[in-house]
Amino acid sequence: MPEIMVNGSPVQVSEAGWLDDIREWTEAIAEAIAAAEGVSLTEEHWDVIRVVRAHFDEYGMVPEQRILMKLLKEKFGADRSTQTYLYQLFPHGVLKQGNKIAGLPRPKGCS
């Protein structure tokens, strides 16, 4: 089983780099997954990560794209909730990269 090293400890991930046990997620793990994805996390990335994790904690599922955009618009305004904005943060898509970095389960249809 593949793994990534985080602070000197191995963390199990899937072949595609998704965290095997979402309960293990930490910000350090997020940084390691982001680095493997070629993403340098900024505060704007963390804002999105916190929103998707809060939605998952409340509803037990990752938010669909339109729901995420609505949540981001309510919290941060229209300029930080567009697809263009999200693709600037997560070039391979927020549903794939954002949820992966947030340590959440892979949404259906994401590789």
> Has 95 been annotated as catalytic?
no
The pLDDT assigned to 71 comes to 97
pLDDT at 102: 98
Helix or strand holding residue 5 (H, E): strand 3-6
Residue of 4, 6, 41, 110 with catalytic role: 110
User: Which H or E element spans position 87?
Assistant: helix 83-89
Residue-wise pLDDT for 8-36, tens only, equals 999 999 999 999 999 999 999 999 999 99
Sign, Cα dihedral of 9, 12, 13, 18: negative
Question: Which domains are present in the chain?
Answer: 3-37 (3.30.1420), 43-101 (1.10.10.370)
Please give the pLDDT value at position 1. Answer: 66
Q: Where are the beta strands (DSSP E) in the chain?
A: 3-6, 9-12
| Position 111 pLDDT exceeds 70 | no
Q: Is the pTM of this model over 0.85?
A: yes
